[in-house]
Amino acid sequence: MGLIREVASIMMLGGVSSHTGREPPGKAGWVRAKAERARKRAAEAQAVRAEAEAKVAEEQAAALARAAHEDEAQRQADLRKVAEKEAEAGARLATRPLTAA
C-alpha cells in the first residue's frame, strides 16, 4: 500500500525533486567555457576552409594559365605551318612556266 501512496503523491506533486529548475552555480561557467571552445574550434575550421579554398583557386588559376599558354603555343605552331605551306605554294607558282591561254 505504501507504494501506491508514493506514486499518488508523486503524481499529485508533479515529481519528487525539489529542484527549482535552475542550474547549479558552477554549471553556467562550465557551459560558457564549453561554448567558447566550440566557437574557437568553429573559427579554426573556418580558417582552414578559407585556406583550402584559396589554395584551390590558386591551383585553378595556374591550370588556366598553363592551358592558355599551351593554346597560344599551338596557335603559333599552326600559323607557322600555314605560312610555310603558303610560301611553298608561292614558290611553286613562281617556278612554273607561264603558258599562253
The whole-chain average pLDDT of the chain stands at: 85
**Average pLDDT of the segment spanning 62-67:** 97
Report whether pLDDT(62) > 70: yes
Q: Which amino acid is at 16?
A: V
Question: What pLDDT, in 10s, does the model give residues 17-40?
Answer: 555 566 666 888 899 999 999 999
pLDDT of residue 2: 72
Q: Is the predicted pLDDT of residue 65 greater than 80, yes or no?
A: yes
Residue 16's contacts (CB-CB under 8 Å, 6 or more residues apart) are 10
What pLDDT does residue 94 have?
A: 76
